[in-house]
Chains A and B, each alone.
Chain A
C-alpha cells in the first residue's frame, strides 16, 4: 500500500512539474468555458430586421418604433407583401421579420388580442433564439404599459424558426463543454502519461517491479480522477457565477454523474495507451477518436436530429451524448435519477466494457 501511495505521489509530481500539462489541466477548461460561453451568450446589437406591417396603424407603428429604438435591432426594410419575406430572408442579411396582422390595433382593442408573427433565421439557432426572445420582451413590455391603463390586452405571438424548425438540441454550452473537457483531460492526459512511461523505458521497470499491473493503472489514473473532478466543479461554478446557469437538480447526483463519466473517459484513455507506443500517437488517437466525436456527434454543437440517419445511428455509440443529456436534465430541467437512470446505466455499461478491454489488453501487452 505504501509503495502505491509513493506511485500516486510521483504521478502528481509529473503533473505539477510540467507547465504544459498544468496549462491543459487548468488553463484550458477555464478558457474553453469562457470562449464557448461568450460565443453563445453574446449580447445582441443592431440586428438587421424587416417589418411587414399589414395593419399600419398607430399601435404597430409605436411598437416598431420601440423595437428599433431599443438598440438591439436595426430596421433594414419595410415590406409590403408576404411574397417579399422569403426572398429577404434567403439573402441572409435579414435575421428576423416581424409581421403584424391586418387590423392589429382594431382587434387588440376589440378582442383584447392581436397576432404578431416573428420569423427568425434559425440557421444559427442560438442567435435566432436570442433575437426572438428580445423581440418578445419588447412586445410584452409594450403590452404591460398598455395594460396599466386598465385594459387586459394580449398578444398572440407566433414564432416560426426558419431553416431549423424544431430548435431541439440547441446546445447549452456548459454540459457540452464539460463533456469535452472531461474527455480531453481524462482520456488524453492518461493515455499520454502512460505512453510517456513507455517512451522513457520506465514502464518496463515498473512491470519488473513487485507492483501489480492494476496498481500501476490505478496509480496512474487517480491523479487524473482528482484533477478532472476539480475541473468539473470549476466548470459548474463558472457556469453559475459567470453565465448564471443554475444547478436545478441534485448537486450530489450531478457530481456523481461527472465521476462516472470521468471513469469512462479514463478507461478509454487506458485503452488508447495500450495501442500507442508514443505520446504523439496517444494524442492523435485521443483527438481523432474521442475529441472530434465528442464535439461533432454528441449533440454538443450540432443537433443530432438534423444529422443524416447514419450519423444519428453512430451517435448512439458516443458516450458524451448520454452524458450531455444527463447533465442537461439535471442542471437545466432539475430532474433526478428517476429520469436519467437509463442514460446512467448506458454510461456505466460502457465504462465496464471499455475498462475490461483496457485491462485485458494492458495485461496481454506484457507477454
Chain B
C-alpha cells in the first residue's frame, strides 16, 4: 500500500461535545484506491468522524488532511473533491431520474454538456433508459441506491464517503452494490465506507473498528481474523467488543 498516494491522514483526531468525547485521538491513513471500512456499533463515533472528514464539522484537535486539504481551513476544497452518500440515498422522490442527475451534477459545478453526456452513460449503464423520466418515488429501492451511488461519484471525486449505504437493503442488492464499489475503487477512487454489517467488512481492503470513540483495531480483514483467531469478521467484532 505504501507506494500508493495518501488521500486521508488523521493524527490525533479528537472531537468533544462538552464533556462527551465522541472521537478520542484517532490515528489512521487511507490510501488512494483503497476500500476503507469504518466499523462500530451505533454511537461508537463513526458518524462524527465522517462529518469531520467531509468538512461538515470542525474537530476539537488533531492534524487531519483530506484529499490534500486541511479540515480546519480548506473545507470548501474538500467538499469539491469528495462524494457523499448516506443510508437514506438522498434522492428527491418528486423529481425524475434525469432531474436528480442534473440537479446533483449542477450543484457540483458540472457544465450542462458534461452533465448530459454523463447522464446518458449513467442511465444506460444502470438500465434505467425507460425510467429516465419517471419519478424516483416509482423506482425500486435497489435501483435508487445504485443511482444515488452513481450520482455521488458523478463529479469524479478523489474520495467517496458512504455512510451505512446498504442499510435496509436486501442481500442480493447489497452484493450488487459492492460490485459497484469495487469497480469504482479499481478506477482509482478511494472508498470510505461505514457499516455495521460484518459480512461487508470482509469486502474491505482494510477495516478500522471503533468502540466508544476510540480505534480498537485497524488492519486487513485477514490479519484481524488471524490475530483474533476468528472464522469471520463477526467473531472478530464480538471478541473485540467484549
A156 at the binding interface (Cβ < 8 Å):
no
- Would A201 and B89 count as touching, CB distance under 8 A? yes
Tell me if A149 is interfacial: C-beta within 8 Å of chain B.
no
Chain B stretch 61-114: residues in CB contact (< 8 A) with chain A: 76, 79-80, 82, 84-95, 99, 102-104, 106-109, 111-112
Contacts of B95 in A (CB 8 A): 10, 13-14, 17
- Whether A208 contacts B56 by the Cβ 8 Å rule is yes
Residue among A3, A6, A206, A211 with most chain B CB within 10 A: A6
Interface residues on A, range: 20 to 34
**Residue from B58, B84, B107 in contact with A3 in the complex, judged by beta carbons closer than 8 Å:** B107
A196 to chain B, nearest CB (A): 10
Question: In the complex, which residues of chain B have a beta carbon less than 8 angstroms from the beta carbon of A18?
Answer: 94
Interface centre among A207, A208, A210 (most CB of B within 10 A): A208
Q: Kindly report which residue of chain B lies nearest to residue A204, judged by CB atoms.
A: B86
Contact with B along A107-129 (1 / 0, CB 8 A): 00000000000000000000000
Which residues in A have their C-beta under 8 angstroms from that of B89? 201
Tell me whether A200 and B90 are in contact (CB under 8 A): yes
* Bound-state Cα–Cα, A305 to B82, Å: 60
Are B88 and A200 interface neighbours, CB within 8 A?
yes
Q: Which residues of A contact B90 (CB under 8 A)?
A: 200-202, 204-205
Find A210's partner among B58, B76, B103, B161 (CB 8 Å cutoff): B76
Interface residues of A in 6-54 (CB under 8 A from B): 6-7, 10, 13-14, 17-18
Contacts A10-B95, A202-B90 given: A209-B57 contact, CB under 8 Å? no
- Per-residue B-contact encoding for A198-229, CB less than 8 Å = 1, 0 else: 00111011111111000000000000000000
**Cα A354 to Cα B177 with chains together (Å):** 45
Q: Using C-beta atoms within 8 Å of the partner chain, give the interface range for chain B.
A: 20 to 34
Shortest beta-carbon distance, A222 to chain B, in Å?
Answer: 15
Known: A17-B94, A366-B56. A211 touches B87 (CB 8 A): no
Beta-carbon contact of B107 and A209 below 8 Å: yes
B109 touches A14 (CB 8 A): no
Q: How far is the CA of A208 from the CA of B92 in the complex (A)?
A: 16
Residue B55 is within 8 A (CB to CB) of chain A in the complex:
yes
A10-B99, A13-B95 in contact; A210/B57 too (CB < 8 A)? no
Q: Are A201 and B108 in contact (CB under 8 A)?
A: no
The verdict on B54 contacting chain A, using a C-beta distance below 8 Å, is yes
Chain B CB within 8 A of A58 CB: no
Expressed in whole angstroms, the Cα–Cα distance for A237 and B100 within the complex equals 38
List 17 contacting pairs A-B, 8 Å CB cutoff, sorted by A: A2-B106, A2-B112, A3-B109, A6-B106, A6-B107, A10-B92, A10-B95, A10-B99, A13-B95, A14-B94, A200-B90, A204-B86, A205-B90, A206-B107, A209-B79, A366-B56, A367-B58
Nearest 4 CB-CB pairings of A with B: A201-B88, A6-B106, A208-B84, A205-B90
